Amino acid sequence: MLAAIGARSIKDLFDDVPERVRFPELDLPAALAELDTRWELESLAGSNLTASDCACFLGAGAYNHFVPSVVDAVLNRGEFYTAYTPYQPEISQGTLQAIFEYQTMICDLTGMSVSNASHYDGATATAEAVITAINVHRLKRRKVVVSPFVHPEYRAVVRTYTQGMGLTIVGDENGGSAGLTDLLDEETACLIVQYPDFLGRVEDLSGLAEATHAAGALFVVVTDPIALGMLKPPGEFGADIVVGEGQGLGAGLNFGGPYLGFFASRKKYARKMAGRVVGQTVDAAGERGFVLTLSTREQHIRRERATSNICSNQGLVVLAAAVYMAALGKSGMRQVAELCYHKAHYAQQRIGEINGFSLLDDKPFFKEFVVRCPEPVQRINDYLLDEWDIIGGYDLGLDYAHLQDHMLLCVTEMNSRDEIDVLVEALGEVTS
């Protein structure tokens, strides 16, 4: 090979690299064989305590949902996971058709007309929704109103993403004492709410949608796709953009990622959306096929005038979501949602009866609910884990000053009645 190149040694190929820094000695641990590596990784994984070892009542944006075996069976096909972004459609129809089917199912689930091929996660999809809203208003409106009960990390990511854009982001200060609709004005690009909200509550959004539209702003809804198996989709309330975390659709917990940010909107905003989009077309023989489309919005064509710098989607996680939605289908998606709903309500009612624990309010909720605890949440969680092998709920005091000693509990189809009864028994012991 060197002869074909006309070089004497491989080292000679690196003559352009300044000699001062060439060939550093990297201080890394010695290489391991596959078996050694497996031992090391199994030992690391084994030292974690997970939802496989314990009953898990923790949610707050990452959910312990069932993943049917068919999902991983499809994901493990090398033709899917070792492919690149489908730039060459003639040999990428598998990926492209799966995304087209995903886009269709996301539209149907959310009640919207168009969906893109996804963003990194629910938080970045929310940030991209804000940027879309700013662009729809041609940068003339720079105020964003956000509900305090949008996931705290999503609100943080919106602020990080837009720190160079000169936006004013309001609504979530002081636990949201000001009414959201009072903050809407002719400067407002969008209002963002979460449905079910971060505390698990569900409300009719039509009023908020109307008020937002009256101010000429876009109504952005962050949602949980599992909840949409039974709940009225945000599109029916008048949402302009619907985003959210698609992790529940077959992605597993994975210590926070990779997950899936879905993004759907009204058709009129299709050309303002960021992200990859798959469209239907025909080939030279007239056969139906699929391609990446609307690429004139994107960075590799528009460069500094692109709608975003994004140039990937969540590929394999999108595929997982498509397989998941097809595997559960019309009846299964509703059934999962109803299992979550009824089990969460059973748990909420039982916990509400325990001496010392009380419920935050009586608003409708889906699979998460808030309980006021007689002791700090951290102490209760330590007790649940140490004595009962239970992963307890999320400590809302970390994010909301007025919710010290309040725990956000999550119940899904993965929690059996036995597990819930043991949780109730364990919480009963806290005060006895």
Partner 1 sequence: MTRPLIFEISRPGRCATALPALDVPTADLPSSLLRDDLPLPEVSEIDLVRHYTRLSQLNYGVDTGFYPLGSCTMKYNPKINEQMARLPGFARLHPYQDEETAQGALFLMYHLQEFLAEIGGFAAVSLQPAAGAHGELTGVLMMRAYHLDRGDDQRDVILVPDSAHGTNPATTTMSGLKVIEIPSDARGNVDMVALEAACEEHGDRLVGMMLTNPNTLGLFDEHVEEITALVHEHGGLMYGDGANMNALLGIARPGDLGFDVLHYNLHKTFSTPHGGGGPGSGPVGASERLAEFLPLPIVDVDLQRSDDEELFYTFVDPPKSIGRVKAFYGHFGVLVRAYVYIRMLGADGLRRVAEHAVLNANYLKGRLEGTYPLPYDRTCMHEFVLAGPPDDVQAAGVHTLDVAKRLMDYGFHPPTVYFPLIVHEALMIEPTETESLETLDGFVEALLRIADEARADPDLLHAAPHNAPMRRLDEVHAAKKLTLRWKPE
Report 57-116 residues binding partner 1 (CB under 8 A).
Answer: 58, 60-62, 64, 66, 68, 70, 72-74, 76-86, 88-95, 97-98, 100-101, 103-105, 107-109, 113-115
- Return the DSSP state at 354: S
319 binding partner 1? (CB under 8 A): yes
Report 247-306 residues binding partner 1 (CB under 8 A).
Answer: 252-259, 270, 276-285, 287-291, 293-296, 298-306
Of the pair 80, 388, the CB lying nearest partner 1 is at 80
Q: How far is the CB of 429 from partner 1 (least distance, A)?
A: 19
51, 67 Cβ separation under 8 angstroms: no
406 binding partner 1? (CB under 8 A): no
- Return the DSSP state at 65: -
Note the maximum CA span of the chain.
83
Select from 182, 186, 204, 387 the one that contacts partner 1 (CB under 8 A). Answer: 204
62, 256 Cβ separation under 8 angstroms: yes
404 binding partner 1? (CB under 8 A): no
Report 22-51 residues binding partner 1 (CB under 8 A).
Answer: 22-34, 37-38, 40-51
Report 363-382 residues binding partner 1 (CB under 8 A).
Answer: 364, 381-382
Of the pair 288, 402, the CB lying nearest partner 1 is at 288
174 binding partner 1? (CB under 8 A): no
245 binding partner 1? (CB under 8 A): yes
Strand partners, 193: 221
166 binding partner 1? (CB under 8 A): yes
Pairing of the two strands 358-359 and 368-372: antiparallel
Q: How far is the CB of 321 from partner 1 (least distance, A)?
A: 12
User: CA 118 to CA 103: how far, in whole Å?
Assistant: 9
207 binding partner 1? (CB under 8 A): no
Residue 228: phi, psi to the nearest 5? -70, -5
Of the pair 32, 214, the CB lying nearest partner 1 is at 32
User: CA 67 to CA 367: how far, in whole Å?
Assistant: 17
175 binding partner 1? (CB under 8 A): no
CA 86 from centroid of its chain's CA atoms: 23
**Three-state secondary-structure class, residue 213:** helix
Select from 184, 221, 243, 316 the one that contacts partner 1 (CB under 8 A). Answer: 316
Q: Determine whether 192 is exposed, middle or buried from the number of CB atoms within 10 Å of its CB (0-12, 13-18, 19+).
A: buried
Of 277, 236, 253, the residue nearest 85 (C-alpha): 277
Q: How far is the CB of 125 from partner 1 (least distance, A)?
A: 10
Of the pair 31, 432, the CB lying nearest partner 1 is at 31
Report 132-161 residues binding partner 1 (CB under 8 A).
Answer: 151, 153-154, 156-157, 159-161
Of the pair 185, 425, the CB lying nearest partner 1 is at 425
- Return the DSSP state at 232: P
- Return the DSSP state at 426: H
Report 322-351 residues binding partner 1 (CB under 8 A).
Answer: 322-323, 325-336, 338-339, 341-343, 345-346, 349
CA angle 153, 154, 157 (to 5 degrees): 85
Q: How far is the CB of 432 from partner 1 (least distance, A)?
A: 24
229, 367 Cβ separation under 8 angstroms: no
Residue given tokens 């019309």 in the structure block? 330
- How many CB atoms lie under 10 A from the CB of residue 77? 12
Strand partners, 407: 371, 395
Of the pair 219, 259, the CB lying nearest partner 1 is at 259
Q: How far is the CB of 418 from partner 1 (least distance, A)?
A: 8
Q: How far is the CB of 177 from partner 1 (least distance, A)?
A: 24
**Three-state secondary-structure class, residue 151:** coil
Judged by CB under 8 A, which stretch of 17-25, 141-149, 170-178, 218-226 contacts partner 1? Answer: 17-25
187 binding partner 1? (CB under 8 A): no
Q: How far is the CB of 388 from partner 1 (least distance, A)?
A: 14
Of the pair 99, 184, the CB lying nearest partner 1 is at 99
145, 178 Cβ separation under 8 angstroms: no
DSSP string, 28-62: -PPP--HHHHHHHHHHHHHTS--TTTSEE---TT-
Judged by CB under 8 A, which stretch of 169-177, 182-190, 223-231, 368-376 contacts partner 1? Answer: 223-231
- Return the DSSP state at 134: H
Of the pair 112, 215, the CB lying nearest partner 1 is at 112
